[in-house]
Structure 1
Amino acid sequence: MPKNKKKQESSSSSDSDDGPVDRNPPPEKKAKTGNRTDDKEPTWVLQGKKLVKIREFKGKLYIDIREFYEKNGELLPGKKGISMTPEQWRKLMSLGDEINETLSTLC
């Protein structure tokens, strides 16, 4: 069976060497709002490398307040910190006024 190959001629209708145009460009990154950072996980900076993140672990959501460290240009979670379930977080937030009142008498 003979092979019938036609040599494709390149179109010279464009002088651009940019290659194909991506019809679905990646979405633009969200701008930093307040202390929230652009991250895969919702993240807020407390101070320096102390962050609050909402993270998923083993299929469950946690509020993670943790000190991070940098290794090979990547921020990784350190040992210093606490992870709370949403229920624990809500309980802590409900105690906020009482804690603030006690703080104001001590400081």
Structure 2
Amino acid sequence: MSGKGKRKENDHASDDSEGHAPPNKTAKKDSDDPDSIVVCEISKNRRVSVRNWQGKIVVDIREFYQKDGKQLPGKKGISLTMDQWNVLRDHIEEIDEAVNENS
């Protein structure tokens, strides 16, 4: 068996018998996350922010959308870990040169 696919019901029973219930998923309430610092708005619906995600600091470049008068994060975007951010920052001059050559 490849291991892909749905779990069988008896697998869930064995998890519960050990006293470990599966974790509940919670929806994010809105984009006004107190741990998030909006650094800049790239355009009307795109932002760069720094936030704490699962105990790690990330640089988040993301599209947002309006729903019920609130700005909510969309699927389109990228979250860079500090290691990834440092690599990108260290190569910014090379990126600028490539952009200038191709524009």
TM-score when normalising by structure 1: 0.60
Give the letter aligned to residue 69 of structure 2. G
Which residue matches 1:68? 64
Which protein is richer in helix relative to its size?
A: 2
Write out aligned runs for 1:13-28 (5 A).
Answer: none
Unaligned stretches of 5+ residues in structure 2: 1-32
How well do the aligned residues superpose, as a CA RMSD in angstroms?
Answer: 1.7
Q: Matched residue pairs, number?
A: 70
Higher relative contact order (CA 8 A, sep 6+): 2
Write out aligned runs for 1:30-49 (5 A).
Answer: 40=34, 41-43=36-38, 44-49=40-45
TM-score when normalising by structure 2: 0.62
Write out aligned runs for 1:1-107 (5 A).
Answer: 40=34, 41-43=36-38, 44-107=40-103
Unaligned stretches of 5+ residues in structure 1: 1-38
Give the fraction of aligned pairs with identical amino acids, expressed as a percent: 41
- Structure 1 outlier segments of 4+, above 2 Å: none
